[in-house]
Copies of this chain bind each other. A is one copy, B any other.
Amino acid sequence: MALSTIKSDLSLSQLLCIQIEREIVEGKLLPGDKLDEEVLAARLKASRTPVREALRALASVGLVHIQPRIGATVNKPTVSEVIELFEVVAEMEAAAARLVCVRASDPEIAKIVAQHKSCEDQARSGTADSYFDANTQFHNMIWSAAGNHVLEDQIVLLNRRLSPYRRFVTFKPGRQEEAVAEHAQIADAIQNRNSVVAVVAMREHVTILGSDVIQLARNLRL
């Protein structure tokens, strides 16, 4: 109920933006696919105007690639671009972890540590989805506890951009256990407010995730 109320408040172009983004993230629209304004408008039952706005909004996120006078396609980053994206996320999340060590409140840190325990629980006895959610929460809490909305927004934006590729990691067996072990290092460092260790551990954690994504994508010949 509340959700549909929220949705009806959104403009058509915003709804289209959400819809197209979903199709890209879910792999229904693949990297390189042409995004013809008229075709999309016809399929999504709207006119070209809001479709155009949606495409340009997604281009600003980096999910869509627009060539002037030629048109829009689903962004198709090269492997090295994806590597660079993960590298930037790694640096920014590391920065967030540092700021948490420097100035988060004790209760905020306690919540992060508690969320790590929750990740452990879900990895041991939960579903893949429930672990995924717990993991997302763990990271979100760190971004948020860093006390810098600009940093948080940037990290969220970069993750939106990476989400079409993240899902591949689901397929890697044993990754959950590794991730939990890495989280433990991060949570420990944060609890001790050891920013140097937290930075290195977080950077390493995200870098490993990136490497796995690249490797899995390669194996799937993408």
Contacts and interface: CB of A to CB of B under 8 A. Distances in A.
A87 B57 contact: no
Contact of A150 (B10, B69, B85, B99): B85
Q: How many copies of this chain does one complex carry?
A: 2
A179 interface: no
B56 A87 contact: no
B53 A148 contact: no
A149 B84 contact: yes
A95 B84 contact: no
Contacts of A85: 150
Given A53-B56, A57-B56, A151 B88 contact: yes
Interface string A68-79: 110000000000
A150 B88 contact: yes
A91 B150 CA distance: 12
Contacts of A51: none
Interface of A: 10-11, 14, 49, 52-53, 56-57, 60, 68-69, 81, 84-85, 87-88, 91-92, 95, 98-99, 148-151, 154
